[in-house]
Amino acid sequence: MQLTNFDVMMLGRDCPLVMGILNATPDSFSDGGLFNAPQHAVARARSMIAEGADIIDIGAESTRPYGDAQPVSEEGELQRLHEVLPHIVALGVAVSIDTMKSRVANWALRQGAAIVNDVWGLQRDPNMARVVGESGASVIVMHNREVVDPSVEIVEDMLRFFDRSLTIASSAGITSSRIVLDPGIGFGKTPQQSIVAIARLDALHSLGCPVLVGASRKRFIASVTPSNPQQRLGGSLAAHLLAAQRGAKIVRVHDVAETVQALRVATEIDNSVEELS
């Protein structure tokens, strides 16, 4: 496994890293069924790398926060990954495994994945932090809630959640340079709370870890401008550009080429303004 230290990955970068989403599932909210065949998944990974993806995030169980996604057993998740993940690792890009199961994470890390993306922030599977800590891998710690509660002050809730996750990580020997925080746009939140989470992203910087934002095609966009997931490119780009302005170091996206172009143009404009001032 090629270890991924996020501080090192970001050296010399003047715009966020781009993580390409690869759903090897039949029921993901936006592209379920498109890439669950192994040859289609590998081809999609190649395409995203060519478009500028820095990381490929592979998931074999839909974790969509709404809808009728079916739970997948450990065996089922491993079976879906078996013919996909090693081939994508061989492409030479940093690979992230999107799972909330420590056994699946452990297998993926042994196959060469470098990052664990846990939508429950090390707080669901009691063995997840140990697996990450012992492997030397990096981890994306995402904020989540069991129940959506419009009355919750979402930024305060995120800070409390991340404080627990960071304590768990520290106890397992996971250093801060191997941790990224994800506000969990759309997970356990109303659309308005997701919008606030992006608007108040700077509140997370005090925790000392880089921040990832995954707003791609999320439902909050439709709350502003009614649309189905495939019609939310404009809203996704707007959210990720504003997240970058607020200090996000990684964006997790379906539309890699368009996001890379938007980030590079925005960065060039910002750099020109600084040169003129």
**3-class DSSP assignment, residue 219:** helix
Say if residues 132 and 105 touch (Cβ distance below 8 Å): yes
DSSP 8-class letter at 69: P
Say if residues 171 and 150 touch (Cβ distance below 8 Å): no
Structure tokens belonging to residue 22: 């690869």
Say if residues 90 and 45 touch (Cβ distance below 8 Å): no
Phi/psi at 130 (5° precision) = -65, -45
Counting Cα atoms < 13 Å in the Cβ hemisphere of 86 gives: 7
Residue type, 29: F
DSSP H helices in 83-207? 85-89, 102-111, 128-135, 154-171, 191-199
Query: What strands, in cross-sheet order, belong to the sheet with 94-98?
Result: 179-182, 138-142, 115-118, 94-98, 55-59, 17-23, 250-253, 212-213
What lies within 8 Å, CB to CB, of 257 at 6+ separation is 51, 52
CB neighbour class for 269 (10 Å; exposed up to 12, middle 13-18, buried from 19): exposed
Residues acting as catalytic residues: 218, 252
- What is the spatial distance between Cα 100 and Cα 38, in angstroms, rounded to a whole number? 22
